[in-house]
Amino acid sequence: MALISELRKRSWLVLVFIALALIGFLFMDAFNSNSGILQSRRDPFAQIDGQDISPAQLDARYSEVLIQYLTQSGQILGYLQGEVTIDNQTEFQLKEQAWNDVVQSTLMEREMTALGLQVTDQEKTDLIFGSNPHPYIKNYYAGLSQNGVFDPALFNQYVNNIKDPQVQQSNPQAVQAYYDFLMRQSLAIREYTYNKYVTMISKADFVPEWRVKYDYTLKNRRANFDFVDIQFTTVADSTIEVTDSELKAYYNKHKNKFKQNESTRVLEYVVFPFTPTASDSAEIMGKLREDMAKLATAKSDSAFIAVRSEDPERITRAFQTRTYFYESGIDSSIVDSLFNAAAGSVVGPYEKPNFYTATLIKERVKMPDSADARHILVSNQIRSMDSARLLADSILTAIKGGADFTALAQQYSEDPGSASTGGELGWSTPQTDYVKPFKDFIFRNGQVGVPSLVGTAYGFHIIEIKELKGRSEYLLAYNLSRFIDASSATADSIDRIANEFFNTYTTLEDLAAGAAEKGYVVRTTPPFGLNQYDIPGLAESRNMITWAFGAATGEFNYFNTFSDRIIIAAVQSSRDKGIASLEDVEDQVRVEVIREKKGVMLAAKLEAAAAGGKDLNTIASSVQSAVKSSTNASLGTPYAPGIGLEPAVVGQVMATAQDGTTGVIAGNRAAYIARVTAITEPPADADLTQSRTQMTYGFRNKVNQQSILGNLTDKADIEDNRFQYGY
């Protein structure tokens, strides 16, 4: 109380302390925070040609992409009910798709606005609910009517039904169907919008008469020629001296050759694997034997294995041949035991890559090796189960009465993958990922040529087996496995070793020397970009990528987030978007300069041999080469038979008269001199209709949505700093 009383008397002093504390806090924040007043703020999240893109915009598009993915993969219900989760890699890929969509839509909207193009609300309504909607709608929902012809009234009724909350509550399939509709609506509007812009450009495909004649002559004027060459490989690279000034001159002249569209990084790294000791392995094998004893008394062997096994392939509905087990790295003697064991018995324990395993033989059966089948799907997702069964029965009755299966499939089947081909599934095997009732009919229960009705979660299928081939023994096996990994004590020991290495060797030069001293291998990554999930050859390395793009060249880091190893990595090199520096591409420039100098040197050698107008045979003898021939060369292609990609040679030959000799040419792979033996001129009165048609279609094929969006993206100034925000 005395202290409080004293503070009250000196309240001015308290205010001073508070003020000083606030100022100190602000200064601390300024020095330590990315957004401090004395430190520059973080880069913007993203910009496209100066237009800001916010995290909220990207999140909104990601939500749409995620829903589309879940809908297309049939997982939307499970996701909404919390039964399906998205793994990190899939989430990353969907976010990249969302980012690309935002970039493309932003650029396309800008282009359309500049041209005064727009898609009105009425157009969008007609596109979905009109009498002639977009094919994404019209083709998919044609099956709502009995005659297979799209009916707008039935479609509107169907949409109103599946979006009714009460219907969705009583029938979860209506939720799936509604999300499917929303996905098709979104895709249809997006496709129509982009196509409006593309169509306008593609209409400008006029090809003038002079251009058609020029192109026809270019492609049809042909030449045969003999030539002598001296290959660059006859001169060792080590004999060619290259100066710094030559490297710089070549680089300055060809800078655009060294331009890249995205920033890249290269890492050097050392791996410290968590290798199990003999003691670790013995302990793991002991635990597996304990599990095997419990399996023998388990009420449900399948449930026990599903819960206790650490093998990703512990439970599978696919029957497999011996080949599968051989390819899984299992010893042939174990495979023999598996295929000789009775159903219900357990084989093992034995070792396969990364696991100690005991295999429960669920079933052994002989089945066809392959089957050619076709089907008609009547979906229960756009109608009731009873209605689907009734329609399927009617179709089956018609087929048994002699109706054409192909025609009925094209009219009624609601399988988007096979309806257009008359229900044809092609050849499949017991490993094909069909649902169980479907697969059982084709490979176990059905008869060739006898169409039958089979129910699955997707609806009712009228299936006809057209042909069966081969017959082998197949095994359905469940694996009770224990992963062979290092114990925590072993991992801790390796962690201490890696930590000591990390603290001892702190430069790129030290890394190489330390690794050599300790017997480790220094590995180098290929160049990688920021917007990829993994570094090639390094699974689960996204955190290494984001670190590398925020680190300086030569900077080290210690990565202990892997389940099976520790990695010490350093940034070996950084290349930013745009034209690379000479230092970054010096090795590549050196190769080019050496090739160029070889061309000059060998061309001079050919010039000397050809002096005085000597014939090719004499020249060839003088340079220890031979006279070779090429036929049917034209300016329509930079390739010539017998010589390969040598545009300079083709150009010189086509510019030389018949029986004339070209000058010496420094090509891509050799120095050349050629004599033109024949020129064939194209007919002057040829019908150019086909040439005009080919050129027109060629231009149209180049003017498509993908190429236009690609060109717009390449030319845009895109600043992508999502990784700085943890996105």
Question: What does the block give as tokens for 656?
Answer: 């030389």
Asked whether 292 and 349 are in contact (CB, 8 A), the reply is yes
Please report the pLDDT score of residue 40 as a whole number.
43
Q: Is the pLDDT of residue 315 over 90?
A: no
Residues 6+ apart with CB under 8 A from 574: 263, 264, 265, 266, 552, 553
Nearest to 358 by CA among 296, 298, 278: 296
Place of tokens 């006279």: 627
| pLDDT for 308 | 92
Distance, in Å, from the CA atom of 415 to the CA atom of 390, rounded to the nearest integer, reads 18
* Predicted confidence (pLDDT) at residue 8 exceeds the cutoff of 70: no
Identify the band that residue 314 occupies on the pLDDT scale cut at 50, 70 and 90: confident
Distance CA 535, CA 541 (A): 6
What is the CATH code of the structural domain delimited by 222-258+587-680?
Answer: 3.10.50
Mean pLDDT of 575-587: 87
pLDDT on residue 11: 40
List CB contacts of 28: < 8 A, sequence separation 6 or more. none
Is 723 within 8 Å of 99 (Cβ atoms)? no
**Can you give the pLDDT at residue 5?**
35
- C-alpha to C-alpha distances, 600 to 608, 667, 670, nearest whole angstrom: 12, 10, 10
Instruction: Give the domain ranges of the chain.
Output: 2-32, 51-202, 222-258+587-680, 264-275+486-576, 278-367+479-483, 370-469
pLDDT in tens, 442-470: 999 899 999 999 999 889 999 999 999 99
Q: Which of 29-38, 72-81, 162-171, 478-487 has the lowest mean pLDDT?
A: 29-38
The least confident of 475-484, 502-511, 703-712 is 703-712
CA nearest 404: which of 460, 451, 458?
451
**What confidence tens digit (pLDDT) does each residue in 586-613 have?**
999 999 999 999 999 999 999 999 998 8
C-alpha distances (whole Å) from 128 to each of 125, 136, 190 are 5, 9, 12
Please, which pLDDT band fits residue 339 given cuts at 50, 70 and 90? very high
Q: What is the DSSP letter of 40?
A: P
Interval 477-495 mean pLDDT:
93
Question: Would you state the pLDDT for residue 681?
Answer: 92
pLDDT over threshold 90, residue 697: no
SS3 assignment, position 53 = coil
> What's the pLDDT score for residue 531?
87
Task: Please state, in angstroms and rounded to a whole number, the distance separating the CA atoms of residues 350 and 329.
Answer: 11
Provide the β-strand partners of residue 695.
none
pLDDT higher than 70, residue 413: yes
Residue type, 520: Y
Banded model confidence at residue 262, pLDDT cuts 50, 70, 90 = confident
The whole-number pLDDT of residue 42 equals 62
Range 422-450 average pLDDT: 90
Report pLDDT digits (tens) over 364-389: 889 999 999 999 999 887 778 888 89
When the pLDDT of each residue in the chain is averaged and rounded to a whole number, the result is: 87
Residue predicted with more confidence, 684 or 101:
101
**pLDDT above 80: residue 526:** yes
Q: Quick check: 172 pLDDT over 90?
A: no
pLDDT digits (tens, 9 = 90+) for 266-282: 999 999 999 999 999 99
pLDDT at 14 over 70: no
- The pLDDT, as a whole number, for residue 317 is 66
State the pLDDT at residue 584: 84
Q: What is the mean pLDDT of residues 143-160?
A: 88
Whether the link from the prior residue into 349 is cis, omega within 30° of 0, is yes
pLDDT at 13: 36
Which residues have CB under 8 Å from 3's CB, separation 6+? Answer: none
What share of the chain in percent tops pLDDT 70?
Answer: 93
Same CATH fold assignment for domains 222-258+587-680 and 370-469:
yes
Region of poorest pLDDT, from 34-38, 222-226, 299-303, 493-497: 34-38
CA distance 266 to 548: 8
Find the range with the poorest average confidence among 204-218, 251-265, 272-286.
Answer: 204-218
Residues listed for the chain: 727
Instruction: Give strand pairing partners of 366.
Output: 473
Assigned fold of 370-469:
Chitinase A; domain 3 (3.10.50)
Using CA atoms, how far apart are residues 75 and 137, in angstroms rounded to an integer?
21
pLDDT at 6 over 60: no
